[in-house]
Amino acid sequence: MPTPMMNQPTGQSPSAPLQQPVQPEANQVQGKNAKGQDQKLFDMFMSYAIKIVHSRQFSDNIAQEFKKLKDSNRVIDLIARLTLDVVTRVEDGARTKGLTIPNNVKIHAANQTMGDIITIAEIVGVPKLTDEQKAQAFSLCVSTYLDQEVKAGRLTPEEVQRMSSQIQQTPEGQKIESTKAKLTKNAAPQPQQQGSGLLAPRGGM
């Protein structure tokens, strides 16, 4: 078990088995530079993200929330918000330990965490999400995260632009770009948004 970064979440004892462990192939950071320390941080990040998501309190609460929703845009918003909540909690825990999580690690960990949340949503009856809906949820999560970090003074607008460029080079970022192209191919031209491009905040879609 990786070294703890934060206290155990409520409802999950330190020795309690995870309900749905991450499969080994899903627990690998992609990319030629994702080695050594990055992999260790990713494993630590996911260890605690999984404990949060699959703790009885968290999973029961989000199951009830998903059961109430009928509109797909609200489902996408909830998935993005829940993913952001988990990522923020883990990162805050890491910060108290003096650890800095690299952007590539956060991106892949957020994507994996969102996948776990989507699995819970589908188990409780939410219609299976399309790849486009998943990309929308991830884009919304990232854009909200960046806005949150700027407001907290942890990122400058210039750093947001650099992080956005980094994200565009990841598989997740490329998926978002591909989805945007599909969604806008036959759509009427829209005014150009200011900010971080593909990561400009959106309320659903």
Q: What pLDDT is attached to residue 202?
A: 32
Inter-residue contact 190 to 205 (CB < 8 Å): no
For 132-176, how does the pLDDT look when each residue is reduced to its tens digit (9 = 90+)? 999 999 999 999 999 999 999 988 888 888 888 877 777 777 777
Name the nearest CA neighbour of 49 among 15, 90, 78: 90
Q: Which residues contact 141 (CB under 8 A, 6 or more apart)?
A: 79, 80, 81, 83, 84, 87, 110, 114
Neighbour-count burial of 70, counting CB atoms closer than 10 A to its CB (0-12 exposed, 13-18 middle, 19+ buried): exposed
Q: Is the pLDDT of residue 77 over 70?
A: yes
Q: Is the pLDDT of residue 59 over 50?
A: yes
Inter-residue contact 196 to 161 (CB < 8 Å): yes
Does the global pTM surpass 0.85? no
pLDDT-derived band at 87 (thresholds 50, 70, 90) equals very high
Rg (CA), the chain: 17
For the chain, the average pLDDT equals 76
Token output for 172:
């997740």
* Cα-based distances in Å from 93 to 101, 135, 169, 197: 11, 27, 27, 30
* Cα-based distances in Å from 33 to 37, 104, 105, 130: 10, 9, 11, 30
The residue among 146 and 199 whose pLDDT is bigger is 146
The residue among 57 and 190 whose pLDDT is bigger is 57
For 1-51, how does the pLDDT look when each residue is reduced to its tens digit (9 = 90+)? 333 333 333 333 332 333 333 333 344 444 444 478 899 999 999 999 999
Q: What pLDDT is attached to residue 161?
A: 86
